[in-house]
């Protein structure tokens, strides 16, 4: 530091001397010649230019620990177990439509049957109380009106259109033929559908019953007494069968039959009630049927 300040002072003196040699000679007396200025006693302090502070270089940062990758089925980590398929329960077999449905009424001890048929606007009705083997049937049909028929202990008692009751013994009266025609119609229609689809088990007329939807093809024979025709197009209906016996307890179906080249509609409602309940079959007083007259040749 001392040496540097000495060099600065020497440089200042040299500059002063050069200044004196460059000045022209003066004619003034030597006594008036100005003496060189005294050397400054204080040498100005040289201001040190601050050097910029170097930006510190960061040391190596420790690399972050890599985030672990979730284990997959192919990694060495334990894979999440895949749930196995839950076993599907096997379907319960559906009941099939049994044969001889109408005849299964014979398995019932007693019942009330109500059959209502409307054929092209003409009503027919049949009501039967049965306590096997005895029964009472009441039939309402066009032309003949109201007919009643009792069968008790092997004997027939009947009446037509409000006439007195007649006891015909073991010989069936004409009303029995009408009742048989209604039964033939029910057997053909209920016993022999072209298809039957099970719909479920339900309550019908107070019993647990299997519900089926029946279908009959076009061209099926339809016979009810004097009515005889064929189905005009496919017909469908619902029927409920007693789950225990297979006997019908309820049915409802519609059909269209050929009527002179046109379609006539027949609707049917069938109900069985009072199943296995006490039912009394008591015919009214009746007169014996007249004995057949002897032929003239006898």
Q: For the chain, which domains are there? A: 102-277 (2.50.20.20)
Report the pLDDT value the prediction gives residue 5, as an integer from 0 to 100. Answer: 33
Q: How many CB atoms lie within 10 A of CB 273?
A: 14
Rounded Cα distance between 196 and 211, Å, is 10
Q: How many CB atoms lie within 10 A of CB 217?
A: 12
Q: How many CB atoms lie within 10 A of CB 73?
A: 10
The four Cα atoms 143, 266, 242, 100 give a dihedral, to 10 degrees, of 80
Residue labelled with tokens 């509609």: 265
What's phi and psi for 133, nearest 5 deg?
Answer: -95, 5
Q: Among 133, 151, 138, 118, which Cα is nearest to 178's?
A: 138
Report the pLDDT value the prediction gives residue 3, as an integer from 0 to 100. Answer: 35
**What digits encode the pLDDT tens for the residues 34-69?**
455 554 444 444 545 455 555 555 555 555 555 555
Sequence-distant (6+) residues with CB within 8 A of 192 are none
Q: DSSP class of residue 29?
A: -
The SS3 assignment for 4 reads helix
Report the pLDDT value the prediction gives residue 145, as an integer from 0 to 100. Answer: 80
Which residues in the chain come in under a pLDDT of 70? 1-91, 225-226, 291-298
Q: Among 277, 273, 279, 222, which Cα is nearest to 250's?
A: 273
Predicted TM-score of the model (pTM): 0.65
Rounded Cα distance between 131 and 276, Å, is 8
240 half-sphere exposure, CB direction, 13 A CA radius? 18
Q: How far is CA 42 from CA 11, 16, 18, 35, 211, in A?
A: 15, 16, 21, 20, 130
Q: DSSP class of residue 231?
A: B
Q: Among 155, 166, 159, which Cα is nearest to 287's?
A: 166
Q: Where are the alpha helices (DSSP H) in 238-298?
A: none
First-to-final CA distance of the chain: 183
């Amino acid at each position: 530091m001392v040496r540097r300040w000495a060099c600065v002072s020497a440089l200042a003196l040299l500059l002063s001397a050069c200044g004196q040699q460059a000045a022209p000679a003066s004619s003034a007396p030597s006594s008036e010649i100005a003496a060189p200025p005294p050397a400054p006693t204080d040498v100005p302090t040289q201001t040190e230019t601050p050097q910029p502070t170097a930006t510190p270089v960061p040391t190596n940062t420790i690399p972050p620990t890599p985030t672990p990758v979730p284990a997959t089925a192919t990694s060495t980590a334990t894979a999440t177990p895949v749930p196995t398929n839950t076993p599907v329960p096997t379907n319960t077999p559906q009941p099939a439509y049994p044969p001889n449905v109408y005849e299964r009424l014979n398995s019932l001890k007693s019942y009330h049957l109500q059959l209502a048929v409307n054929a092209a606007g003409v009503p027919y009705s049949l009501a039967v109380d049965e306590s096997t083997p005895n029964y009472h049937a009441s039939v309402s049909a066009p032309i003949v009106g109201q007919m009643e028929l009792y069968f008790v202990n092997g004997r027939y008692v009947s009446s037509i259109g409000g006439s007195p009751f007649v006891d015909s013994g073991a010989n069936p009266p004409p009303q029995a033929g009408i009742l048989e025609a209604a039964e033939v119609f029910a057997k053909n229609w209920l016993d022999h559908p072209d298809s039957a689809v099970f719909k479920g088990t339900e309550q019908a007329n107070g019993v647990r019953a299997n519900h089926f939807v029946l279908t009959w093809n076009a061209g099926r024979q339809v016979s009810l007494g004097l009515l005889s025709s064929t189905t005009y197009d496919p017909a469908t209906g619902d029927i409920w069968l007693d789950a225990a016996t297979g006997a019908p307890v309820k049915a409802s179906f519609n059909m269209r039959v050929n009527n002179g080249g046109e379609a006539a509609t027949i609707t049917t409602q069938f109900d069985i009630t009072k199943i296995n309940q006490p039912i009394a079959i008591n015919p009214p007083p009746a007169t014996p049927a007249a004995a057949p007259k002897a032929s003239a040749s006898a």
